[in-house]
Structure 1
Amino acid sequence: MMKPAFLLCLLLLTTSCKSAGDELVLTDHGKSNYQLLLPAQPTRAAQKAANILQDYVQRISGVKLPIATEGPAVTGAGIYIGATEAGTPEKIPPEGFVIRTDAKNVYIRGGSGQGIVYGVYHLLDTYFGCKKFDNGTAYTPREQRLHLRANMRDAQHPAFIYRQSYYPASQDPEYLSWHGLQQLDDLWGLWGHSFFKMLPPEVYFKAHPEYYSQVNGKRQPMQLCLSNQAVYDAVVAYLDKAIQHNPDALYWSIAPEDNNNYCTCDICKKADAAEGSPAGSLIRFVNKLAARFPQQRFTTLAYGYTAQAPHTPPADNVYIFVSSIDAYRGVPLAQEPSAAAFRKHLQDWKALGSHLFVWDYTTQFTNYLAPFPDYENLQPNLQYFASQGVQGVFSQGSGDTYGDMAAWNSYLQAALLWDPQADVATLKREFFKGYYGKAGALVKDYADALSNAVKAGQVKLDIYGSPVNNVNDYLSPANMARYTALLDKAEQAAGNEAPYAEHVWKTRLALDYTMLQQSLFYGIQEGGYRVADNNDHPVKPEWQGRISSFYDRCLRFGVKEMAEGGLTPEQYNNEWKERINTVWMPNKALNAPVKVATPFSQDYMTRGAASLTDGALGTTDYSFNWLYFQRQHLDATIEQSLTFSSVQTQYLEDVRHFIVRPVDAALQVSDDGVHFTTIATQKLSPMLEDTDDGKAQIKVLQFKLPQPVSTHYLRLQASCPDVLPEWRGSSHAPAICFDEIIVD
């Protein structure tokens, strides 16, 4: 006679595969009659998918489903993975999948590539409640009873053949597979701006200057000369070896360097004129390579001087990356006025029958941590790309360093790159609740408040902007106070519960960074880092603690650099230490009225002419506190009675952004503001290439007089060079930048 306990176990085993109503019960109270069944010759993807499903089912339910090969000996129910004999064969698009059940079994089939793996992760996420919000550990619920609806079918495939959201989470291979994303390193044998990767000037230029672009009548190592047969032969030789070394690469980039100094030799110029665009010689060159390597796919860039489509269509194995770099991000790209050129370029390349990819941008590259609320525009942008026949998207965020709302950006982009019609409201609800726990609703309100402030202020959200530039709109003091209150409440709601508290702290880095940057603009005014109502203007006593806390959290949360090619957190911290330890320099001209006779740029955040006497010093970021004179001279007059023996000011050198050293400077005085006398001059030495380390540098220009001088008007003049140094290799207009004039 069977014992009751044994009968109960037998009952559980025999009923676990049967439907409860319309359900297939896969596990129940530690028992299952299901196996994971593979075809006789499974693909690597199918084997990987089976291992993943086995692992997660065990994490969820405690049941380890056996993995076996299908066949006559199999008894009981099965979860069939891959192209098994059981089940109905289906035609599945590349990288797509089908999850299907009948009255007894489950079938997961995939298209080419990772389709079957994507299918398993979709099953775990959508039906079993697992979530992968970032590159941390996946959330796995504890559930004894796993079930699926009987006789259901879920078929999906991605909207784009190339899908990349470039944020830290993408460094996690499981995150990529979970969300159907890809990584450029896995697809491209050669990526991005590639001319000099193939023919580096340090190797070839000295012996073969003719390989490189002719600019202003002279061969310079700025781009390649694409009409030179020897260049083509050298690139073919490079690709022969590279393809042999990396035969699995899907794409090879043949693209110019990141500058506009294309070749203007007679042959290149003639080709570009015939094509109606400097992209003409590029497409002819890439098409020639595409014919030489017909089994390979090549990509190139419609960016900068190659943005405008030529007359010649790209070959069928050539894909064009169209860049949206010049557009503001406050409204969707389909409506944004500054995106008109991008839309035209996209349509013109489309008219040629091109395979189109888009290189899009979703962060502020000059300030990765600055709040950049373009989240509401991600869906309409991707829907627009899909409507234009775009086949792939590189959504460039902060890369492998943490940037503002990186986890939410990546999570949302991943879903929309797979399906641009996805339900964003549902995605938002599940992400903020799952990622922030009890603080989720408050952090969601914070993100919404940022987006709403951008809309209300009709802000031109700039990927090369600054949190200082927006002190009068979405990052105004009133708005900053509102955001701070929301995240204060979020911190209280999260308490010390891991990982939710850390996620709130990480999100708060954006406000901390904005406050620090804006304090540099405010200087000795309210909101600045120095005490306003004290003649010595010491640094506020709490500032050292703020800097230390910010630095510690940057290191803790994976901040590697503050901007693209910018300071590391350690360098940023050291700058602040130096600033805090710098004693205030008295200035007899502080807040004195000043007039500037020459025009300066209105594109950057200053207090106009008053920036020269407001006590707020410039930093290595030229976008605020500097008066920016492009091909204009500095001519500034302080209108105040002064007695002095020293005058100094700061100027900026940042050749990457075409900001150079002035040619000379002069100091003049006047009693009537009409007739001026020169009392001192300086001739500055030219900038040398080997003195430029690629980083912006602040320099001091000082006049020390042999004896005190009294005047009613003090004028400072400085000359801007007519052209950039030849070694800079650019015809871009040069600029000079000045900030505080200190009189003592």
Structure 2
Amino acid sequence: MLCVTFLLALLLAAVLCCALAVEHGGIDLCAMRGWDIVVGDDATPAERYAAEEFREYLGRATGTWLPLPGSAQASTGHVLIGPEAAGRDAAAFGPEELFISVAEGRIAICGGRPRGTLYGVYTFLEDYLGVRFLTADHTYLPPQAERVVNSQIIAPLERTYSPPLSFRWPYFGENVVAPAFSTRLRINTVTDDPRLGGRTPMGLISHTFHRDLPSRVYGTDRPDYYALHSGRRLAPFPNDFATTQPCLANPDVLRIITQKVLGQIEADPTRRNVSVSQNDNAKHCQCDACRAVDEREGSAMGSVLAFVNAVADEVAQHHPDVKVGTLAYQRTRRPPKLIRPRPNVQVQLCSIECCVMHPIDDPACPLNVEFCRDLAEWGRVCDDLRVWHYNTNFSDYLLPCPNLRVIESNVRYFVQNNVRGLFVQVAGNERWAQLTPWEASAIASPEGNVLGAELCDLRNYVIANLLWDPSRSGQGLMDEFVDLHYAGAAPPIRRFIELVHDNAEAKGLHCNCFGRAADYGIDERVAREGLDAYAEALALAESDVVRTRVEKASMAAVRAALEPVWNAETAEDVGPDLAARMRPLARRLFGLCSRHGVTYASLHNTIGQVRRRLQATLGLPDV
């Protein structure tokens, strides 16, 4: 009885507040019949699409479908989409800055070009209608009863927002295969489609020397173009990515790479940066000239940055609006003592050595302390600092990884330290990193980023929302996703996620983004409780749709339970009793992988490779 009385009181209070807000010029979003949607004659494709998206989700949420296009004179109220319709100057906004205004009989949503208006519409739908873009095939709309209690009344307001990160890329395959969905999450690196606002003209800073100076082309005749390492020149190779580096003191190397860079810019006048960066290996040149620079500067970045600056000087002469980006990665992560990046040089700092289970700025985490020092030093000398961060376990994409709790603090720490762009690398294979930065975003499973990694949908939702607005609560986003996506099956799933994190924290573990089960605290107890939790969740799932979502998430628990045999090489390593217990789990896991498009088990191993190995070790030919 007390509960019923409370709900009635809450409903009455909501109604009174609604009436008061409307009386003072507010708007009831559930009472907009007679309104229309107005876009300007010069509206961009993204602004027209923004109007369509507003109409679609307002209609689905409230049952009111407004005419589009409307007339600014005819209706009782107007939703004005885009700068012209709203009477604002698009040039006064940043490219992703949004503006929302609510007054009696009028809602105006506009912003900068190309994406500000579109992002303004999604912000409005989320903040005032309770819409949540959870996955590509699951957009949550509050039910009618919730809308009544929570009210859809908006008091008069004006608000603006401009994201602190101008480059936002959570590298999930789920975004690449669904560009409209990625746009709703305000990811600005996935699609060129002008209706979706296109992508930022700043590309990912990535490895390029293997492509711009291939030793298979130059190495036979000119081995001096390549690194002198351990007493020999490292050339030629079929692929330089993991095998060699250029000799950055060689003037011909500078000439060739500068010409390549200028050609890339001229081939695509829309781009606003170009990468000039090391290959993915530590075999930097040790010739007298390169070594002298690196020893003087106290970092292998000395010779790299001197070279990048020289390229940047040429770029500045011909293309003053284009920047040159380079990676601060592994042996080049530490800033040089004396050499400073040119004003048109971008530095992308990579956190690959960092512990994934503790916040980046945790002073008690030895793996993270030096990274924070390097980040602070780069922030003092570089005007355009970016970060390449990692939120996966490259050794095992399906294994539970206790790194969800640190996402919020890490993103916020980067922003507080003047980072302008954040690339979050997740599950992918070895091919993706060898693509150009412009190719990489167009590649989906199985050739670049991959689908179906551990809790990928949850991770994508949390990361994308924090990249857009780092002030949000990471835990709040996790709770929101789990509650809305898994509905009645949410409690046991949340319990397992908490167990994975609590267990790792209690053990005081430290590990980077390459680990085995024990490195992350995944033991027999965690695996057993995971299977129990997902069995309970499947029993609680109230529909086939929810059951499918739970099954996808359950792959992590099934993979954990297979740990005793996961790395076995022969049947003798397993034994008949253990093999008999593991066979049903193996069948279950590979069936789930097939249903959910999982193609890679780790950075270098496909699901097919793992399946064939377990077929042999478990005596299981039918998986």
Return the TM-score normalized by structure 2.
0.82
SS in structure 1 at match of 2:46: helix
Residues 113 and 316 of structure 1: is their aligned pair in 2 closer, same or farther, counting only changes over 3 Å?
A: farther
2:175 equivalent to 1:175: no
The alpha carbon displacement at 1:463 in A equals: 1.5
AA at the equivalent of 1:549:
R
Q: Does 1:320 align with 2:347?
A: yes
**Contact 1:211–1:225 (Cα < 8 Å) also in 2:** yes
Per-residue CA deviations over 1:74-127 (Å, capped at 9, x if unaligned) read 543211112126456695444121211011100102134412111111222222
Question: Which string of whole-angstrom CA distances, capped at 9 and with x for unpartnered residues, describes residues 111-156 of structure 1?
Answer: 3441211111122222223222123343345769995413123422
Counterpart amino acid of 1:232? L
Cα pair 2:37 2:78 within 8 Å, conserved = yes
- Secondary structure of the structure 2 residue equivalent to 1:552: helix
512-521 vs 183-192, greater mean Cα deviation: 183-192
Residues 509, 519 of structure 2: 8 Å contact kept: no
- Of the three residues 451, 456, 459, the one matched with 2:506 is 456
Select 2:607's aligned residue among 563, 566, 569. 569
Task: After TM superposition, give the deviation of residue 523 of structure 1 in Å.
Answer: 11
Q: How many residues matched?
A: 551
One-letter amino acid of the counterpart of residue 24, structure 1: I
Q: Which has the higher strand share?
A: 1
Pair 1:194-2:204 in alignment: no
Q: Deviations over 1:614-643 (max 9, x none)?
A: xxxxxxxxxxxxxxxxxxxxxxxxxxxxxx
User: Counterparts in 2 of 1:433-452, with a 5 A limit?
Assistant: 433-452=483-502
Output the amino acid matched with 2:281.
N
- Classify 1:157/1:227 alpha carbon distance in 2 versus 1 (closer, same or farther; 3 Å): same
User: What secondary structure sits across from 2:280 in the alignment?
Assistant: coil
Question: Kindly tell me: are residues 55 and 351 of structure 1, through their superposed partners in 2, closer, same or farther at Cα, counting changes over 3 Å?
Answer: same
Are 1:35 and 2:40 matched, yes or no? no
Q: Could you give the per-residue CA deviations for residues 265-315 of structure 1, whole angstroms, max 9, x where no partner exists?
A: 233223333433221221122222222222212221111221111122112
Query: 2:532 maps to what in 1?
Result: 485
Larger % of helix: which? 2
Please report how far the alpha carbon of residue 522 of structure 1 lies from its aligned counterpart in structure 2 after TM superposition.
Answer: 9.3
Residues 25, 103 of structure 2: 8 Å contact kept: no
> Post-superposition shift, 1:48?
2.2
Q: Does 1:151 align with 2:201?
A: no
Give the letter for the 1:212 counterpart.
Y
1:188 deviates by: 5.3
Q: 1:204 to 1:135 in 2, by over 3 A?
A: farther
Matches within 5 A, 1:137-148: 137-140=138-141, 147-148=152-153
1:616-673 deviation line (CA, Å, top 9, x unaligned): xxxxxxxxxxxxxxxxxxxxxxxxxxxxxxxxxxxxxxxxxxxxxxxxxxxxxxxxxx
- Judged with a 3 Å threshold, the aligned counterparts in structure 2 of structure 1 residues 380 and 582 are, in CA distance, closer, same or farther, namely closer
> CA–CA distance in 2 between the matches of 1:69 and 1:130?
24
Equivalent residues in 2 for 1:17-416, closer than 5 Å: 19=22, 23-26=26-29, 28=31, 32-68=33-69, 73-84=73-84, 86-87=86-87, 91-140=92-141, 147-171=152-176, 172-183=178-189, 186=199, 187=201, 191-221=205-235, 222-293=244-315, 294-310=320-336, 311-335=338-362, 336-398=365-427, 399-416=449-466
For the Cα contact (< 8 Å) 1:167–1:402, is it kept in 2?
Answer: no
Partner of 2:37: helix, strand, or coil?
A: strand
Match of 1:539, as an amino acid? A
**Counterpart residue number, 1:421:** 471
Query: Comparing 455-464 with 179-188, which one deviates more in the overlay?
Result: 179-188
Distance in 2 of aligned mates of 1:570 and 1:20: 64
Distance 1:413 1:265, change over 3 A: same
Partner of 1:163, secondary structure, is: strand
Bigger Cα Rg: 1
Partners of 2:172 and 2:377 in 1: CA distance: 30
Q: In structure 1, what is the Cα distance between the partners aligned to 2:396 and 2:282?
A: 24
CA contact (8 A) 2:274 2:325 kept: yes
Distance 1:482 1:223, change over 3 A: same
Counterpart residue number, 1:681: none
Counterpart in 1 of 2:563? Answer: 517
Q: Does the 8 Å contact 1:359/1:393 carry over to 2?
A: yes
1:157 aligned partner, one-letter code: S
Partner residue, 2:575: 530
* SS of residue in 2 equivalent to 1:319: strand
Q: Which amino acid aligns with 2:579?
A: V
Distance (Å, rounded) in 1 between the aligned partners of 2:595 and 2:407 = 29
Give the conservation status (yes or no) of the 8 Å contact 1:468–1:521.
no
Residues in 1 aligned to 2:295 and 2:121: alpha-carbon distance in whole angstroms: 53
Would the alpha carbon gap of residues 435 and 461 (structure 1) be closer, same or farther in structure 2, given more than 3 Å must change? farther
- 1:550 offset after TM fit, Å? 1.2
Judge conservation of contact 2:98–2:116 (CA < 8 Å) in 1: yes
Q: Give, as a single letter, the amino acid of the residue that structure 1 aligns with 2:575.
A: R
CA contact (8 A) 1:24 1:103 kept: yes
Matched letter for residue 270 of structure 1: A
Shift of 1:261: 0.9
Q: Distance in 2 between matches of 1:69 and 1:292?
A: 52
Contact 1:23 1:148 in 2 (8 A): yes
AA aligned to 2:333 is: A
What CA distance in whole angstroms lies between the structure 1 residues aligned with 2:85 and 2:451? 46
The answer on whether the counterparts of 1:26 and 1:34 sit within 8 Å (CA) in structure 2 is: no
Partner-residue secondary structure (3-state), 1:440? helix
Segments of structure 1 that go 5 or more residues without pairing to the other structure are: 1-17, 533-537, 584-744
Match of 1:506 in 2: 552
Distance 1:62 1:149 in 2: 18
Amino acid at match of 2:105: K
Identity over aligned pairs, percent = 24
> Contact 1:94 / 1:113 at 8 angstroms: preserved in 2?
yes
Return the alpha-carbon distance in structure 1 between the equivalents of residues 358 and 296 of structure 2: 37
What amino acid is the match of 2:321? Q
| 2:109 counterpart SS class | strand
Looking at structure 1, the residues matched to 114 and 269 of structure 2 have their Cα atoms a distance apart, in angstroms, of 16
Could you tell me the TM-score, scaled by structure 1's length? 0.69
Q: Which of the residues 581, 587, 591 maps onto 1:552?
A: 591
Query: 1:348 Cα shift?
Result: 1.8
5+ long unaligned stretches in structure 2: 1-20, 192-198, 236-243, 428-448
Q: Which whole-Å CA distance do the structure 2 matches of 1:267 and 1:84 have between them?
A: 59
Contact 1:35 1:77 in 2 (8 A): yes
- For 2:292 and 2:348, the matched residues in 1 are separated by 25
